[in-house]
């Protein structure tokens, strides 16, 4: 791996953020941010809801549903790659800035996992439902079943079975979208409504060809997503096991609470992960994305290649390449 030495990282040395990052950039306040290039169409749908007077929760749900319904996105919703047994299972979480949250893990046969997660939040006394229980609840709530395994995803799975080689590739979310093979991942979307309230959603089909029953960071409050109206919100993407180890999204929000810019907060947590895991994350990609209550956005990653979509109040969206610890 090129770039700063691991010795420097493990010693806690900070690295310069990439010029494409947002810290110190004079930009209009953001009302939406989301992970990867495919966050741009998600932001567009979310902004339309905001313009119509919708809440932050309505905004992020609408954005998440765009990614979930995109059959060319092999890492979210319908068309997502299956586990090693050939079954597509979805994970999602949604929350507002006042501590309300809902999550589903290992959900099968339902496209819009983020909407089921919202229903968990609003219609049950629980936060997380899993597996058959999550599916039964979704059906009770009137969600329709769909075949999530598309012919393209099934063909990719059958090719994988020839070697059963499990080696996720960093930044495959952009390299292979639209229409190609992704190893994993997630869309995380964070939003502020016209009243200044915040919400977030994170939804995924998880790592391609994962062990059956595997759940990563995405649907876990405080790991894949954290939202606090007093401070801001954060989400994560990449190797979920790594984000779980540092409670990534929660750690970013707490760093912002301590006064750090969103980008600096993300960088602090990425550096912590690198010190904690050392060579074990040498070939991994992990990225964190944050939006504070003032509309400042920022992100930081272990490796180059992570991009995110930023949308302002008038609906203009730009794609930003995040800074990274290693070059």
Buried b (16+ CB within 10 A) or exposed e, 271-282: bbbbeebeeebe
- Residue 132 corresponds to which tokens in the numbers above? 């058959």
According to DSSP, the residues that pair with 136 across neighbouring strands are: none
* H/E stretch holding 199: strand 198-204
Strands 186-192 and 30-35, how do they pair?
antiparallel
Q: What is the DSSP string of 47-103?
A: HHHHHTT--HHHHHHHHHHHHHT-TT-TTSSTT----TTS---EEEEEEETTS-EEE
C-alpha 250/C-alpha 227 separation (Å) is 8
CB 208 within 8 A of CB 183: yes
Phi, psi of 175 (to 5 degrees): -60, -30
* H/E stretch holding 161: helix 151-161
Question: Terminus-to-terminus CA distance in the chain, angstroms?
Answer: 8
Catalytic residues: 186
- Judged by DSSP in three states, 202 sits in strand
Q: Tell me the torsion sign for CA atoms 27, 32, 38, 40.
A: negative
C-alpha 54/C-alpha 51 separation (Å) is 7
User: E strands along 51-169, which residues?
Assistant: 90-96, 101-107, 128-130
């Amino acid at each position: 791996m090129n770039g700063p030495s691991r010795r420097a990282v493990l010693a806690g040395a900070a690295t310069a953020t990439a010029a494409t990052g947002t810290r110190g950039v004079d930009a209009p306040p953001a009302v939406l941010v989301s992970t990867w290039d495919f966050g741009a169409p998600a932001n567009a749908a979310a902004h339309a809801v905001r313009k119509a007077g919708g809440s932050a929760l309505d905004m992020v749900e609408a954005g998440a549903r765009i990614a979930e319904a995109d059959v060319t996105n092999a890492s979210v919703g319908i068309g997502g790659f299956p586990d090693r047994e050939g079954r597509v299972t979805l994970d999602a979480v949604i929350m507002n800035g006042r501590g309300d949250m809902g999550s589903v893990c290992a959900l099968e046969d339902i496209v819009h996992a983020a909407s089921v997660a919202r229903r968990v939040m609003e219609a049950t006394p629980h936060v997380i439902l899993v597996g058959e229980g999550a599916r039964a609840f979704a059906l009770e709530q009137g969600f329709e079943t769909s075949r999530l395994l598309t012919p393209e995803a099934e063909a990719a799975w059958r090719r994988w079975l020839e070697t059963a080689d499990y080696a996720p590739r960093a930044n495959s979310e952009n390299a292979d979208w639209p229409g190609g093979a992704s190893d994993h991942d997630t869309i995380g979307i964070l939003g502020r409504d016209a009243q200044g309230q915040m919400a977030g959603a994170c939804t995924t089909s998880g790592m391609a060809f994962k062990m059956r029953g595997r759940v990563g960071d995405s649907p876990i409050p405080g790991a894949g997503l954290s939202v606090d109206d007093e401070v801001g919100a954060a989400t994560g993407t990449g190797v979920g096991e790594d984000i779980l180890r540092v409670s990534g999204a929660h750690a970013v929000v707490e760093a912002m609470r301590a006064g750090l810019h969103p980008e600096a907060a993300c960088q602090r947590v990425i550096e912590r992960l690198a010190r904690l895991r050392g060579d074990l994350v040498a070939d991994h990609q992990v990225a964190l994305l944050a939006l504070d209550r003032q509309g400042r956005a920022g992100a930081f990653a272990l490796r180059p290649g992570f991009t995110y979509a930023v949308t302002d109040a008038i609906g203009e969206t730009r794609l930003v390449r995040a800074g990274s610890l290693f070059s």
